[in-house]
Amino acid sequence: MADFIELNTFVKLKCFAATGGQAKLLIRSGAVIVNGVVETRNKKKLVADDIVDIQRKRFVVNGKEIRS
């Protein structure tokens, strides 16, 4: 059982990318901020209560988004 969601999956879940390739390009471009820091690793593990900013929209990772 995992208690995280990968950043690229989260980006797709929030509809900022339709494919994994698009998510990777968006993340690598520096357009995603995790907990106040630009994140360029597409496999970054997010846990509950992490704050993710994508294109001026803020999200808080919740338990429902974390895969089990």
Question: Is the pLDDT reported for residue 67 higher than 70?
Answer: no
pLDDT score recorded for residue 63: 82
Domain residue limits, the chain = 5-60
Q: Please give the mean pLDDT across all residues of the chain.
A: 93
10, 46 Cβ separation under 8 angstroms: yes
Q: What is the pTM for the complete model shown?
A: 0.91
| Distance separating alpha carbons of residues 23 and 48, to the nearest angstrom | 20
Phi-psi region of 60 (alpha: psi -120 to 50; beta: other; left: phi over 0): beta
59 bridge partner residues? 52
Q: What is the pLDDT of residues 13-43, one digit of tens each?
A: 999 999 999 999 999 999 999 999 999 999 9
Question: Is the pLDDT reported for residue 68 higher than 70?
Answer: no
| Distance separating alpha carbons of residues 52 and 36, to the nearest angstrom | 8
CA distance from start to end of the chain:
5
Under CATH, which number does the domain 5-60 receive? 3.10.290.10
